[in-house]
């Protein structure tokens, strides 16, 4: 009888150790990171006209991105389903084309101050390929410009740099007419701005566990 009790006790201890290890691993993998946007990040809108190309910098924007802490340790562990939040907000009055008139025209076209931000909200992220430095993803979501919301999808590259920071870079083509934004014209319509613009970004994210 004592022999049976000792065996049962050892079995319970072993099961407890296994369960404790499993729970610890699950907790470690599920610890979420509320990322911090770093100052080195950049975002710009590039377009063209019948006269020349033009460029507008987003001098200020925010990124809300939540992923497991393991994302900052090894990119091999990344899964699209790990992402619990991705939202990008760009204040319209922080778009700077370097000239006052251009900034005024841009804000008028984007219906500022009625609509004060451009926003992107993610719906799904899928990993599609490997790159030399990391992995490529396809991002699906919705973007709101001048009060109009449209579905979009685009590719981006993700990697971890030597400082264990997540680096995301890519380009997004947008047709501004789909958002009801009329391209500015000058000199009685002789100079016209194309409706297709390219949003280019390089975002660096650090993390803090919560």
Per-residue pLDDT of 52-104, as tens digits, reads 899 999 999 999 999 999 999 999 989 999 999 999 999 999 999 999 988 99
Q: Do 56 and 95 contact (CB within 8 A), yes or no? A: yes
Q: Cα separation of 64 and 73, whole Å?
A: 20
On whether both 25 and 35 belong to a single domain, the answer is: no
Neighbour count for residue 46 (Cβ, 10 Å): 13
Residues 49 and 95 in one domain: yes
Where b means 16+ CB within 10 Å and e means fewer, 122-154 reads beebeeeeeeeebbbbebebebbbbeeeeebeb
CA 156 to chain centre: 9
Query: Sign of torsion, CA 206 173 84 91?
Result: positive
Do residues 19 and 107 both lie within one domain? no
129-154 pLDDT, tens per residue? 999 999 999 999 999 999 999 999 99
Whether residue 90 sits in one domain with residue 176: yes
Helix, strand, or coil (residue 61):
coil
Residues 6 and 44 in one domain: no
CA atoms within 13 A on the CB side of 107: 18
Q: Which domain does 169 fall in, by range? A: 31-209
User: Can you say whether the dihedral through the CA atoms of 200, 62, 90, 151 is positive or negative?
Assistant: positive
pTM recorded for the entire structure: 0.82
- How many domains does the structure of the chain reveal? 2
Kindly state the percentage of the chain with pLDDT values over 90: 72
């Amino acid at each position: 009888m004592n022999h049976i009790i000792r065996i049962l006790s050892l079995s319970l201890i072993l099961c407890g150790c296994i369960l404790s290890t499993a729970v610890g691993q699950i907790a470690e993998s599920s610890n979420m990171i509320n990322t911090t946007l770093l100052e080195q990040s950049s975002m710009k809108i590039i377009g063209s006209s019948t006269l020349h190309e033009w460029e507008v910098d987003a001098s200020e924007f925010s990124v809300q991105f939540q992923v497991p802490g393991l994302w900052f340790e090894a990119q091999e562990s990344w899964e699209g389903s790990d992402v619990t939040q991705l939202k990008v907000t760009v204040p319209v009055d922080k778009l700077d084309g370097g000239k006052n008139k251009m900034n005024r025209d841009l804000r008028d076209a984007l219906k500022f101050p009625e609509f004060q931000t451009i926003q992107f909200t993610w719906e799904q992220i899928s990993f599609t390929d490997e790159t030399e430095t990391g992995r490529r993803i396809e991002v699906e979501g919705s973007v709101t410009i001048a009060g109009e919301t449209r579905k979009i999808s685009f590719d981006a590259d993700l990697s971890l740099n030597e400082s264990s920071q997540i680096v995301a870079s890519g380009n997004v083509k947008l047709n501004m007419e789909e958002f009801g934004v009329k391209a500015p014209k000058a000199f009685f319509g002789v100079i016209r701005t194309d409706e297709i613009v390219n949003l280019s970004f390089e975002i660096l994210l650090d993390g803090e566990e919560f």
